[in-house]
Amino acid sequence: MTLSSWQLNSIDSSLIELALKEDLGHPFRDMTTATLFPELERARATAKIISKHPEPIVFCGLPLIKAILNQLTPDYQLQVLIHDGDTVAPGETLFNIEGSANALLMAERTILNFIQRLSAVASLTKKFVDAVHGTTMKILDTRKTTPGFRHLEKYAVQCGGGVNHRMGLYDALMVKDTHIDALGGMSQALQRLPENITEKYPVIIEVRTQDELNIVLEKAPHKVSRVLLDNMSLEEMAKCVKLCQNIMPTEASGNMSLNTIRAVAETGVDFASVGKLTHSAGSVDLSMKTI
């Protein structure tokens, strides 16, 4: 599954509207500015978005900036200095925006809330991707995303150089330990899979031991698109990867960190799914200043 910039541009406007309503109510209004500066109703202003983060970051969220401004005013000019996936240095200016002073002030917090979060996901992904540079392993995301933000956060993973896993429970089969145990073991789980299932959906099956992997390889390799090597030692993982060579791709999962990911990659495993990319990314420090 791959998200494109076009898909992010065409994202359901209800998410943007919800975010604006949280901050501005309905109809949209900034009571402080309207009360203290009524003259700004017809005024024009310029704003710039800069990075205050202490280290370089990977930016993500340009289409969100445009979508938010489009909800508030049709009359603005956006000077784009940084695109999604670009690296931004501390203190660097990302965008200059000229338009209605009221609209810029109302847009500020919602814009920052989106791009600070998405840029953090992209930046953390880039660190993992850089950590395995020179190996063949790809960094995958997971379903451990912020509710309502899954498409956005998975797009941010792409901007950081990662690869998207399944979008949800509806577009792939992942047979996990709970399913296997509930059915009485690996052989029984494999029997439940239709013969032609991989023609319709990817099938990922979790294996906890080399013995479970042997059952998959002996009884139903044609029913499996990828095996998930869950919480294995590096030694056991390397053995399983070797058994799967030229048969099916392998994926590592379980407590992946920047300290361990290189060693995991050096086992030869094809993918590693990393929940931290989205559930622990936090936010980067960006600022929007209106002049």
Catalytically active residues are: 109, 144, 176, 206, 230
Query: Contact, 28 vs 69, CB < 8 A?
Result: no
The partner residues of 230 in beta bridges, in order of sequence, read 253
Helix (H, G, I), strand (E, B) or coil at 95: strand
151, 169, 212, 257 from 143: Cα distances, Å = 10, 9, 25, 17
**Phi, psi (5° rounding) for residue 38?**
-60, -25
Helices assigned H by DSSP within 137-219: 150-159, 177-182, 186-192, 210-219
CA distance 125 to 117: 13
Question: Are the CB atoms for 64 and 286 separated by under 8 Å?
Answer: no
